[in-house]
Structure 1
Amino acid sequence: MGAAVAKALEYTADAPGTLAEARLAVAAHAVLQWDRSPDADAGIWDAEATCASRSLLSAVDEILHLKEIHAFPMASSARRRMDTALGVAMSRLMDEFLLLRVWDASQLEGGHGLRVAIERLSVSVLAPGGSGVCLAFPTGGSISTGELSVSTTDELHASDMSLSSWPDMLTTFVDGTAGLHEIHADDLHLIRPASLPVLHEIALRVIRAGYTKEFLQTFAKAPCHVLDRFLSILQLDRSFFAANRINFEDAEWWATEDMVKRWILATKLIEKALVVMQRQLMAQECGAFDRFKDAYFMAIAKQGILVLFKFADGFTSTRSPEKLIYVLELYEALSNSAPALLPLFTGQHAELISRQLPIVLAKLARALRAAIDDLITNIRTDCSQAVSETLGVGVHPLARHAMTCVELLAPHRAALDLILVNGGEDEGGAEGVTPFGSRASELIAGLERNLDEKSALACAGGSQSSRHLFLANNTDFVLNRAADAGVASLLGDEWAARRRSRLEQHAASYIQASWGPVVACLETAAVGGRGKPAKALAKFNAAFEKAHGSQVCREVPDPALRAAMRLAVKETVVTAYSAFLQKHPRLGKSVRYTADDLVESLSELFEGDAADGGKS
């Protein structure tokens, strides 16, 4: 035990008791008096895992030796002192274990290190569907929660890990890149080789002392700098870990977007990093620590996974439609990670993770169903903008918002079908319509009823032409956007056929309301009545000019519908006009327009403000 022990033995030579008691006194003194100062860089082992206090280890070994040779009777005070000293020694070793850097995160430091990890672990930073389009619109307000304060977006973007800069830097790395995982994953050397002998030294003494149960319990507090590096993406503060439960319900949509994107990236990294970490740890020869490797790995993996679960659970009270798409992406990421995460665990750890994961997913699913219900209700009852002359007859903002929601939800239809069917949702529509298709149909039906009511109220007691053109435009818009999103096929042929028929009816009703009275002027001329054809023509000219003047600035945004409606107007007006001229060839100078003139004039219809600007 060296000079210090010899000196202590000299000091205790005259003390009463056996030599074994004297040896215990010296060893116990060394253990009890040793303590790492709070700001010290090294204890028993320094930063390079080199033993910096061999005398302390010798003292521990001395106590273990006295225990193993049964130096003291069971009920003696010396035995109690030895047991106390051994307990303190084991506590010291376990403290040193918790301070040991087993995992090497040096390759992951800074933004460049994170990009390296993303590349070598073959992780995608794209959301499902690859879309960065927002479902929500800024609403203002502060961010606060009942249990935990949430950082603002300015704070979230303040670090070098700002999510706003990630897409440009990282989107070249995608999931499933051929061979990328196999080629690069083990290039990340995540274990510090110098720590392996230390693990053996600690485990050997723990086993000799019979403290394996306490050692296993210590694993729950073991640090892992690799997982900590990935969890730092979430930018969590101490209050997160102190709170029993967190709640992000009051976070604004833009803060929610940022937090969810961070969580998805962290989850993907941790999911794949754990596989590599497990493989690398199991490949190491750790001596006496080999018997603990499984339990140790599962303990640190469980810590990281439970942090992710706790973060995800913070969104389970969120039912705001503005945050629907972000919570849905979180649900998908968590659900998709399960097949890779669950096999990492066995025994009690597997039971815990297997129990917690479905609970969080079920709570997220419940929140998503509530958010979808609220979205449908909001669209059905929206009264923000009525149809008016100033708003025009084009596509209503509510229609754009509703169909944007449908388009954003469509790429997630598989997850939504599972969420909705598990929630007891009835298809409520045609045979073969999926749960998501049924809710999309319900959302669109609510939109259509709302727009019909708005247009009826705006046009009450007035001309119906604007109403029918408005409804034709919006019906056409819904059909086109549903087709673009791939939703029309989910809703069924009957759904699309009904709306095409409705579109044709509104177009025909518009033509009848706007141009029917113009054509009717030509029908008032009695055959053979002197002077009446000329009067009818003059009346037609006036009616045509008035109708043209009022309709030329009407807008039909869809080029295909615009062309079809122009053709229908021409067939209605020009055909009747040409027949009238043929029937009355002697009108002479009374004829102000040729049929071609009418065709040219009617070709200006439905351009909106562009037509008005072209005339001026």
Structure 2
Amino acid sequence: MRNLFFRSASPSPSNSPSRSTIPPSSPRHSFSDSLMEENIEIAQTLIMKWDSSDASSYTKLTSLFYDNRQEAKLYLKCVRDLQSAMHHFVNSPDSSAEKLITAQTLMQTAMKRLEKEFYQILSDNRENLDAETVSSSRSSESRASPPRTPTRSSVSDLESESEDESTFLEGEQIATIPMEDLKSIADCMISAGYGKECVKIYKIIRKSIVDEGLYHLGVEKLSLSQVQKMNWNVLETKIKYWLNAVKVAVKNLFYGERMLCHYVFSASNSVRESCFSEISKEAAMTLFGFPELVAKCKKSPEKMFRTLDLYQAISDLWPEIESIFSFESSSAVRSLGVNSLIKLGEAVRTMLEDFEAAIQKDHSKTAVPAGGVHPLTRYVMNYITFLTDYTEILADIFADYPLTLQTPLPEAYFGCYDVDESPISVRIAWLVLVLLCKLDGKAELYKDVALSYLFLANNLQYVVAKVRNSNLKYLLGDYWVGKHESKVKQYADNYERMGWSKVYASLPENPTAEISSDQAKKYFKQFNAAFEEAYKKQSSWVVTDPKLRDELKVAVAKKLVPAYREFYEKHRVGLRRECGVDSLVRYAPENLDNYLSDLLYGASGAGSVSSSFSTSCSNSQGL
């Protein structure tokens, strides 16, 4: 600096005519020089007043921006004026090096003071400058006033400062004032060439706030081995915490931090980018690295839905993630998010394949008591129904992975949609088909053919009801539902025919035909034996669907009761006086409906033929 500003006079040529006639003169002192010197003097008075290097000064314990805000703004103006004076003397050939050195010393003192103020504002406003408050504060300001020019200092000329301050105090939230102060100091320090000191303080304090915020959201840094060793219940709990945390972290924590960084360092794009990236990168990598760790764990069908939740959370937030971490220095965060989606998608595809394999490999040989709904049916259909809540996500995951089968699916498994454009519909239809084929095999476990058909009717009715009453109906379509409802009806008809054929056959083809008394007795005996056998056998059978149960009872009653009534009324007069008629004619026609109504509720709801004998006999004795 001394070499730059202490210049030696250049010798004049010996033949110069003026050398002996013009006396030496002092350097020119212009009006600009006087103005700049005055700026230095004014700045010196205020800067030295707030010089914190003096241990005895009260300024070490007070804040310029808290104690006297008007003076703080004047302080920043003095620094700008001091900077202008330095530029003037640097570019002036006749400048005084002493003045420049004085200005430089004052500038260093001022920067130390502003550095202290910057740190104190950041430290004292940790709670006020939380991400949510910052976000709402900036949003309210953008609605209330036109956008600010990014490079303009937030401290305007003194004539308008009091008006601005009043507006902030009355209309803005509590975060606005410290944000304005931080921006003013940052603009001033960066402009003076002291941005490095300012940025260092900002990064240290704000990074600790971001890390602390993520910790309070329940997100912790885990290794792959730690995640793999976790019990699933523990890991699922951490996934739940993460799902709640990621929304807050993206929409508030990182978004608010970027807005604050963007605002405070609006004077420099490079500073703004480097600050935000260094503050948020570690926390963001911890947050978005967790789903990838989960995806790498051992896969099983019960983990499917939490894996889909993780995928959906990142997918839904991706526009915000991509926008917040749009800087080139944040590309690692974006790459990690994309990689987590890829790994989660691979995990989902593997688990769905394992789910299908588990259905096909089910080799349980125990028939479900009473022909009810098989646990496999309930499990598979509930699982598939839950899958439909993720239709859009599954479509994204399987977009480039069409289902390849040895043979095409039967036409009955598709609705009114284009198969080529509905890969998820195809996969769901295929899983249902795998289940129904498995149920066909399990029906063979029943020794009674009628019970086999009842089992198939129960299970297919359960499947159809699940489809009709869930989002599955939009994937499989009305055509699919109609086809399988017809199949349920077919199974029900087969049950009714097989289960009651002997009872129907125990009566004569023409119930009103003239027959002998002995023949009538024979038919009554046949009917009693067939009906009691069927009733006893089916008293423990069950139909879980109320509508299907009523339809089956009505079908049996329509065929059985009218025929029996005609036969009963035709031959009751001839048998009235014979001995033992009470034991022979056991059932009055009006009582058959009562017996049938007890059926198909299972063992707990079934009635008993023997317990109803007294009612029938008492009715018969009155004939």
Q: Under a length normalisation based on structure 2, what TM-score does the superposition of the two structures give?
A: 0.62
Partner deviation per Cα, 1:128-180 (whole Å, 9 max, x = no partner)? xxxxxxxxxxxxxxxxxxxxxxxxxxxxxxxxxxxxxxxxxxxxxxxxxxxxx
Q: CA separation in 1, counterparts of 2:530 and 2:194?
A: 104
Larger Rg: 2
RMSD in angstroms over aligned alpha carbons? Answer: 4.9
User: Does the C-alpha gap of structure 1 residues 483 and 346 become closer, same or farther in structure 2, counting only changes over 3 Å?
Assistant: same
User: C-alpha offsets along residues 153-208 of structure 1, whole Å, 9 cap, x if unaligned?
Assistant: xxxxxxxxxxxxxxxxxxxxxxxxxxxxxxxxxx9979696587678768866786
Equivalent residue number for residue 400 of structure 1: 378
1:363 aligns with 2:347: no
The structure-2 alpha-carbon separation of the partners of 1:443 and 1:292, relative to structure 1 and needing over 3 Å to count, comes to same
The C-alpha deviation readout for 1:95-116, integer Å capped at 9, x for no partner, is x97996487247989xxx99xx
Which residue identity does 1:454 align to in structure 2?
Answer: K
Give the number of the structure with larger relative contact order, counting CA–CA contacts within 8 Å between residues 6 or more apart: 1
* 1:487 alignment partner in structure 2: 472
Letter in 1 for 2:242: W
> Aligned equivalents of 1:607 and 1:378: distance in 2?
31
CA distance in 1 between partners of 2:347 and 2:201 (Å): 36
Query: What amino acid is aligned across from residue 550 of structure 1 in structure 2?
Result: K
Q: State whether residues 410 and 486 of structure 1, in contact with CA within 8 Å, keep that contact through their aligned partners in structure 2.
A: yes
Match in the other structure for 2:401: 423
Deviations 1:393-442 (A, max 9, x none): 21111111112112221111111122122333469653435322222222
How do residues 92-103 of structure 1 correspond to structure 2 at under 5 angstroms? 101=123
Partner Cα separation in structure 2 for residue 522 and residue 188 of structure 1: 93
Confirm or deny that 1:435 pairs with 2:423: yes
1:70-111 per-residue CA deviation (whole Å, 9 max, x = no partner) reads xxxxxxxxxxxxxxxx9xx99xx99x97996487247989xx
**Aligned mates of 1:287, 1:369 — CA distance in 2:** 45
- Alignment deviations for residues 514-569 of structure 1 (CA, whole Å, 9 cap, x no partner): 21111111148996466223212111112112211221232212111111111111
The answer on 1:444 being equivalent to 2:432 is yes
Which residue identity is paired with 2:215? S
* Matching residue of 2:256: 277
Aligned 1:174-573 pairs, distance under 5 A: 223-233=206-216, 235-237=218-220, 240=222, 243=223, 248-249=227-228, 251-274=230-253, 277=256, 281=260, 284=263, 292-318=271-297, 319-349=299-329, 351-384=331-364, 386-389=366-369, 392-425=370-403, 429=409, 430=414, 431-433=417-419, 434-457=422-445, 459=446, 462-523=447-508, 528=515, 531-573=518-560
1:285: how far off?
5.6
Which amino acid is 2:385 matched to?
E
Give the aligned residue type for 2:426.
S
| Alpha-carbon distance between aligned partners in 2 of 1:385 and 1:490, rounded to the nearest angstrom | 32
Shift of 1:288: 6.8
The total of aligned residue pairs comes to 467
Higher mean alpha-carbon deviation, 535-544 vs 496-505, is at: 496-505
Summarize deviations over 1:468-518 as a string: whole Å, max 9, x none: 111111111111112122202311233223321221122112112221111
TM-score w.r.t. structure 1 length? 0.63
Distance 1:347 1:587 in 2: 101
8 Å CA contact 2:460–2:484 kept in 1: the answer is yes
Going from structure 1 to structure 2, the CA distance change for 1:219 and 1:315 (only over 3 Å counts) comes to: farther
Q: Secondary structure at the match of 2:444?
A: helix
Aligned CA distance change for structure 1 residues 535 and 600 (closer, same or farther; 3 Å): same
CA distance, structure 2, for counterparts of residue 602 and residue 530 of structure 1: 28
Q: Distance in 1 between matches of 2:553 and 2:518?
A: 32
SS in 1 for 2:528: helix
Q: Letter of the aligned partner of 1:296 in structure 2?
A: C
**Which position in structure 2 is the counterpart of 1:164?**
none
CA distance in 2, matches of 1:556, 1:287: 72
- Alignment counterpart, residue 104 of structure 1, candidates 111, 114, 126: 126
Letter in 2 for 1:228: D
- Shift in Å at residue 583 of structure 1? 5.9
Judging changes above 3 Å, is the alpha-carbon distance between structure 1 residues 417 and 556 closer, same or farther for their aligned structure 2 residues?
same
Structure 1 residue 591 displacement after superposition = 3.2
